[in-house]
Amino acid sequence: MRIGIVFHKNPFAAPAGIDLVRLRAITLGLIHRGVAAEIIAPVRTEGVIEDSIPVRKLDVLDKPNDYDLVKTSYHDSIMLIGGFQGPVVSRIVRVVDERLPERDDAVRQRLLLCQELIKKRATALVLNNKENRERWINLYGPRPPITLAPTGCPSEIPKPRENPFPPGARAILFLGSLASPRMVSMLNEAARMLSDLGRIHLVGLNKAQMYGGGKDCVLDPLIKDHGELAEDAIWDYIRHASIGVALATGPHPFDNDVSKILNYFRGGLPVLSEEPIVNNDLIRQTGFGKIFRFGDINDMAAKARELIMDPHQGDREAVMRFMVKEHSWNKRVEVYLKLFQTILYG
């Protein structure tokens, strides 16, 4: 079985963002199961990443019979499959319609065009959650058939190193991207309200200006901005923080599949999460954190205090084991492998 995984950005970049982490994890997992999996991307020079993942140029898709199946990774990837004539499995993060999510207004027409192409061209569609499955079916009907493959987390994480936070104040961690203006506003207000308890640390990127934000998207000086870090370094921030924070991009669950919760739990960090986030089921299932009401900064601050000051936050080791057993990238690879085998061999 030879699989081409089409990615719309540079796969040679440092794997800090979830898009590259996921790409490498899924591809490497398939290779470890005997699949000849390769990344296909708009690169000038071919090469290898992770010592064993080939990266090929887009023009390989114009050669007949080079791949048994092609998987696309995000909306824009469907535009890159060129003359490939075989089966296509498309994955997207969130289903866009003519109105929602509001933060996609600037790119809405392009995303809708991609969805139309996926409807016409894809053999199967992969989505993260049932909320987006329902949206797709309401917009386009039951075709192509949908498989759910949520975000995962690594089975193995780096061994502990030294504490990256300064001594004294407790560390409240926000990992990942700030992807809407409201997220910046909430985090700024939380930093002010909780300044006597600890300091908020951002490990990731403030992308709010890409989604309609302006001057209101500037981080409060109380927040320590570490920027985007290499994946290996992130785990020390997770290990040594007091709590991890997850904020919603907006009020709609389908637009709030938050991968950082899985990483927080994998590293043994209790989570304070906002109400519309679909991954909050993990908090309800494990009891390892608290959920606050959407947009309610007072409830957020109160629950942050409760969670930080609780000497019995939960069974950290049990939660870490649970994440490996039920939500590792290996589990997600199994879903893809079964899907590919069904499409190719029936």
Whose tokens are 């319609």? That residue is 97
Percentage of the chain exceeding pLDDT 70: 99
Q: Cα–Cα distance between 96 and 2 in angstroms, integer? A: 31
pLDDT range class, residue 74, cuts 50, 70, 90? very high
Scanning the chain, the segments in alpha helix (DSSP H) are 18-32, 108-121, 130-140, 181-193, 231-240, 260-266, 280-286, 297-309, 316-327, 329-345
**Mean confidence (pLDDT) of the chain:** 95
Residues contacting 248, CB < 8 A, separation 6+ = 182, 183, 256, 258, 274, 275, 276, 277, 294
Show the domains of the chain with their CATH numbers: 2-152+328-345 (3.40.50.2000), 170-325 (3.40.50.2000)
CB-CB contact of 103 with 180 (8 Å): yes
Report in angstroms the alpha-carbon separations of 155 from 239, 267, 281, 331, 332: 16, 11, 20, 10, 12
Other Cβ atoms closer than 10 A to 117: 17
Confidence of residue 142 (pLDDT cuts 50, 70, 90): very high
pLDDT digits (tens, 9 = 90+) for 154-183: 999 999 999 999 998 899 999 999 999 999
CB 238 within 8 A of CB 244: yes
pLDDT attached to residue 84: 95
pLDDT tens track for 92-106: 999 999 999 998 999
C-alpha closest to that of 152 among 342, 344, 329, 343 = 329
Q: What integer is the mean pLDDT of 236-257?
A: 97
- The answer to whether the beta carbons of residues 258 and 250 sit under 8 Å apart is no
| Among 45-54, 89-98, 283-292, 303-312, the least confident range | 303-312
Residue 13 has pLDDT above 80, yes or no: yes
Task: Give me the amino acid identity at 344.
Answer: L
- In this prediction, residues 70-84 reach a mean pLDDT of 96
Helix, strand or coil for residue 267?
coil
Tens digits of residue pLDDT in 110-138: 999 999 999 999 999 999 999 999 999 99
Per the CB < 8 A criterion, the answer to whether 329 and 154 are in contact is yes
Rounded Cα gap, residues 194 and 192, in angstroms: 6
In this prediction, residue 65 has a pLDDT band, given cuts at 50, 70 and 90, of: confident
C-alpha–C-alpha distance, residues 129 and 277, integer Å: 11
Please say whether the beta carbons of 163 and 131 come within 8 A: no
Which whole number is the average pLDDT over 30-42? 98
Q: How many CB atoms lie within 10 A of CB 15?
A: 19
pLDDT score, position 277: 98
DSSP letters spanning 231-259: HHHHHHHHHH-SEEEE--SSS-GGG---T
In the chain, the percentage of residues whose pLDDT exceeds 90 is 90
**pLDDT band at residue 311 under the 50/70/90 scheme:** low
Task: State the average pLDDT over residues 269-292.
Answer: 97
269 backbone dihedrals φ, ψ, rounded to 5°: -110, 120
For tokens 């995000």, the residue is 74
Residue-wise pLDDT for 193-224, tens only, equals 999 999 999 999 998 887 777 777 899 999 99
| pTM for this predicted structure | 0.94
- Calculate mean pLDDT across residues 30-54: 97
How far, in Å, CA of 278 to CA of 286, rounded? 15
Give me the DSSP letters along 126-187: EESSHHHHHHHHHHH-S-S-EEE----B-SS-PPP----SPSSSEEEEEES-B-SHHHHHHH
pLDDT in tens, 315-332: 999 999 999 999 999 999
